[in-house]
């Protein structure tokens, strides 16, 4: 049976392919429609938050921080409600991570503030003695890439119908709308308005000056993203 295949490379390759593709078909396909339905209260990311998410990815924060609270008492005590599939509906890519060198960040927006993040990103062990996290000083200097974030918003809106500019139901019964700008200039203006709110809570003078001058440093975008994780 199988031995015959070894003399017929073409059929051998076909047989191997069928054998290995089988598992994927059964395991992966059935879940696709099911899992992508957002739960109540899940919103797509704003332009600035998305730019911050890109900063998070650029620096591989996910190499040390998970975004997945497992359903154990020890985890819900520490990080909040366990994760639900629908909460990730707008996460492209997912950022669950595979290693917790640092704590989970799934709901970090619930218990950390802008100025905590500012101090911590500048000098982690100054805020948390004994921390082995390195400082991310360059985020205070580099400028966030709003263009690419806006391009991603357009893409997910167009291709995956991610609901921008639509009323979405929130957990408390209210409605919320996440705006996607009509033009690139408008996107910049919106992101800057959001950035100003965050910069107002920050102490770093260079960051404040940059935002005043219309620039958005990476740290501001990153904090916007981290604050949105709830």
Partner 1 sequence: MENRPLEYDYTVAKMFMLTTVLLGIVGMLVGVILAWEMAFPAVNTIAGSGLAEYTNFSRLRPLHTDAVIFGFTLSGIWSTWYYVGQRVLKVSMAESKFLMFLGKLHFGLYLLVVVSVVVSLLLGVTTSKEYAEFEWPIDIAVVVVWVTWGMSIFGLIGIRREKSLYISIWYYIATFLGIAMLYLFNNMEIPTFFASGGIGAWYHSVSMYSGTNDALVQWWYGHNAVAFGFTVPIVAMIYYFLPKESGQAVYSYKLSLLAFWGLMFVYLWAGGHHLIYSTVPDWMQTMGSVFSVVLILPSWGSAINMLLTMKGEWQQVAASPLIKFMILASTFYMFSTLEGPIQAIKSVNALAHFTDWIVGHVHDGVLGWVAFMIMASLFHMAPRVFKREIYSKSLMNTQFWIQTLGVVLYFTSMWIAGITQGMMWRAHDEFGNLAYSFIDTVAVLHPYFTIRAVGGTLYFLGMFLFAFNMYKTMTSSRRVEESELQNASPMGA
Partner 2 sequence: MNIGTIQAYAYFFFVAFLVIVLYSYIYHLYSSQRKGKRDYEKYSNIALNDDITDQPVEDISKND
Alpha carbon 49 to chain centroid, angstroms: 8
Complex with partner 2: residue 6 or 34, whichever CB lies closer:
6
Q: Which of 108, 149, 191, 219 binds partner 1 (CB under 8 A)?
A: 149
| The only residue of 11, 40, 113, 128 in contact with partner 1, by rule CB under 8 A | 128
Phi-psi region of 33 (alpha: psi -120 to 50; beta: other; left: phi over 0): alpha
Contact 140, 122 (CB under 8 A): yes
Nearer to partner 1, 15 or 197 (CB): 15
Count of CB atoms situated within 10 Å of the CB of 43 = 18
DSSP string, 103-141: ---TTGGGT--HHHHHHHHH-HHHHSTT--PPP-GGGGT
Q: Is 102 in the site for partner 1 (CB under 8 A)?
A: yes
Q: How far is CA 36 from the centre of its chain?
A: 16
Q: Of 17 and 22, which CB lies nearer to partner 2 in the complex structure?
A: 22
CA distances from 66 to 44, 60, 109 (A): 20, 11, 14
Q: By rule CB under 8 A, what count of residues binds partner 1?
A: 88
Which of 77, 172, 175, 182 touches partner 1 (CB under 8 A)? 77
Residue 212's nearest CA partner among 194, 199, 223, 225 is 199
| Cβ distance to partner 1 smaller for residue 14 or 176 | 14
Residue 26 contacts partner 2 per CB under 8 A = no
Token digits for 213? 């001058």
**Does 10 interact with partner 2 (rule: CB under 8 A)?**
no
Considering only residues 9-48, where is the footprint of partner 1 by CB under 8 A?
Answer: 9, 12-13, 16-17, 19-24, 27-28, 31-32, 34-36
Chosen residue from 40, 46, 52, 60 binding partner 1 by CB under 8 A: 60
Question: In terms of CB distance, is 1 or 213 closer to partner 2?
Answer: 1
Structure tokens at 192: 């800057």
For position 76 contacting partner 1 by CB under 8 A, the verdict is no
Shortest CB 183 distance to partner 2, Å: 51
Q: Provide the phi-psi class of 63: left if phi over 0, else alpha when psi is between -120 and 50, else beta.
A: alpha
| Residue nearer to partner 1 on the CB measure, 21 or 176 | 21
110 binds, among partner 1, partner 2, none (CB under 5 to 8 A by kind): none
């Amino acid at each position: 049976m199988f031995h015959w295949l070894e003399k017929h490379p073409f059929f051998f390759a076909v047989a191997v392919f069928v054998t290995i593709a089988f598992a994927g078909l059964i395991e992966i396909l059935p879940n696709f429609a099911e899992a992508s339905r957002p739960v109540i209260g899940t919103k797509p990311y704003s332009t600035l938050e998305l730019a911050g998410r890109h900063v998070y990815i650029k620096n591989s924060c996910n190499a040390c921080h998970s975004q997945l609270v497992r359903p154990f008492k020890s985890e819900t005590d520490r990080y909040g409600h366990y994760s639900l599939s629908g909460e990730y509906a707008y996460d492209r890519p997912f950022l669950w991570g595979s290693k917790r060198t640092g704590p989970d960040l799934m709901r970090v927006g619930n218990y950390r503030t802008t100025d905590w993040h500012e101090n911590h990103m500048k000098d982690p062990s100054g805020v948390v003695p004994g921390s082995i996290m390195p400082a991310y000083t360059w985020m205070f200097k580099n400028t966030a890439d709003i263009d690419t974030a806006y391009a991603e918003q357009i893409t997910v809106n167009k291709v995956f119908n991610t609901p921008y500019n639509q009323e979405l139901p929130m957990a408390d019964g209210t409605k919320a709308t996440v705006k996607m700008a009509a033009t690139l200039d408008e996107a910049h203006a919106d992101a800057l308005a959001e950035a100003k709110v965050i910069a107002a809570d920050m102490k770093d003078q260079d960051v404040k000056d940059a935002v005043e001058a219309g620039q958005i440093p990476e740290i501001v975008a990153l904090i916007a993203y981290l604050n949105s994780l709830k």
